[in-house]
């Protein structure tokens, strides 16, 4: 796992992203948005790579655009403001938008997934817990320059391998995601939970469940 921003291998990911009219438009509209440490990440990026790999249309299978950022302000109102701002910038692209301040995830995670987690220390720390190696990825644009980050490198992403990152996500969540993706992109190589990375639940806090 890497702790710093790294360029995609041979700029391959960046070239795929910029070839996507949908993702390029999203990045250009978000450039200069003012959110700290923001990325367009997870499924939209990975699925765009899969669409390129398997000859699918741009935007095929994308359920939403995940925009994540890291702001130590844990108040809920700035996140709501960020969501409205990003939604306005991305209006008209025809895809649902989801905006999350990763510094606040530990506040709502118990209600959503039944377990407590430690607060994330950075956007990269947050990505290191995302459910699969292929989707623990993000791209950002600043002054027209695109940068890519992946918590686990890009090999699984480019190879069409779906592998669980077991340190936090419940097994049932991984299996539901993997099954849904396989129904949309049947060429994917979906690995069983047992072949995932990381010891199961090592990022979870033990003891009495907290409340958001």
Q: pLDDT of 110-122, one tens digit each? A: 999 999 999 999 9
Task: Kindly report the average pLDDT of the chain as a whole number.
Answer: 92
Tally of domains within the chain:
1
Report helix, strand or coil for 159: helix
Q: Residue 106 in contact with residue 204, Cβ under 8 Å?
A: no
pLDDT at res. 138:
96
pLDDT at res. 83:
98
Q: What pLDDT, in 10s, does the model give residues 1-36?
A: 333 444 444 589 999 999 999 999 999 999 999 999
Q: Which two tokens stand for residue 143?
A: 């002054």
Q: Is the pLDDT of residue 53 over 50?
A: yes
Q: Per-residue pLDDT averaged across 50-62, rounded?
A: 97
Answer yes or no: is 170 within a domain: yes
Q: Per-residue pLDDT averaged across 89-97, rounded?
A: 96
Q: Is the pLDDT of residue 92 over 60?
A: yes
Sign of the alpha-carbon torsion through 17, 19, 20, 23: positive
Q: Which two tokens stand for residue 144?
A: 């027209």
pTM given for the model? 0.91
Of 1-10, 29-38, 75-84, 179-188, where does mean pLDDT reach its minimum? 1-10
Answer yes or no: is 94 within a domain: yes
Q: Is the pLDDT of residue 101 over 90?
A: yes
Answer yes or no: is 99 within a domain: yes
Q: Residue 74 in contact with residue 129, Cβ under 8 Å?
A: no
Q: Is the pLDDT of residue 209 over 80?
A: no
Distances (CA, A) of 155 to 95, 122, 187: 27, 23, 16
Question: What's the CA gap between 19 and 36, in Å, rounded?
Answer: 26
Answer yes or no: is 97 within a domain: yes
Report helix, strand or coil for 75: coil
Q: Which two tokens stand for residue 174?
A: 């991984």
Report helix, strand or coil for 170: coil
Closest-CA residue to 123 (of 202, 36, 205, 199): 36
Q: Is the pLDDT of residue 176 over 50?
A: yes
The β-bridge partners of 101 are: 69
Answer yes or no: is 3 within a domain: no
Note the Cα 193 to chain centre separation in Å.
Answer: 19
Closest-CA residue to 104 (of 89, 84, 132, 123): 123
pLDDT at res. 5:
46
pLDDT at res. 206:
80
The more confident residue out of 206 and 105 is 105
The β-bridge partners of 132 are: 164
pLDDT at res. 11:
85
Answer yes or no: is 178 within a domain: yes
Answer yes or no: is 23 within a domain: yes
pLDDT at res. 7:
42
Task: Provide the residue range defining the domain that includes 97.
Answer: 9-205
Answer yes or no: is 212 within a domain: no
């Amino acid at each position: 796992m890497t702790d710093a921003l790294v360029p995609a291998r041979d700029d391959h990911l960046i070239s795929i992203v910029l070839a996507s009219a949908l993702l390029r438009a999203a990045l250009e509209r978000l450039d200069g948005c003012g959110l700290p440490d923001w990325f367009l990440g997870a499924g939209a990026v990975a699925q765009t790579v899969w669409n390129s790999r398997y000859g699918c249309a741009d935007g095929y299978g994308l359920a939403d655009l995940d925009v994540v950022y890291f702001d130590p302000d844990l108040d809920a109102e700035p996140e709501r403001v960020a969501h409205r701002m990003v939604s306005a910038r991305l209006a008209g692209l025809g895809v649902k938008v989801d905006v999350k301040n990763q510094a606040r995830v530990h506040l709502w995670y118990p209600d959503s997934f039944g377990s407590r987690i430690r607060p994330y220390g950075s956007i990269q720390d947050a990505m290191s817990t995302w459910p699969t190696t292929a989707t623990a990825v993000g791209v950002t644009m600043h002054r027209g320059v695109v940068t890519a980050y992946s918590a686990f490198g890009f090999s699984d992403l480019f190879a069409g391998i779906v592998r669980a990152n077991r340190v936090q996500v419940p097994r049932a969540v991984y299996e539901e995601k993997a099954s849904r993706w396989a129904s949309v992109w049947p060429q994917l190589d979906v690995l069983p939970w047992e072949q995932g990375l990381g010891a199961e639940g090592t990022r979870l806090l033990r003891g009495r469940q907290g409340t958001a």
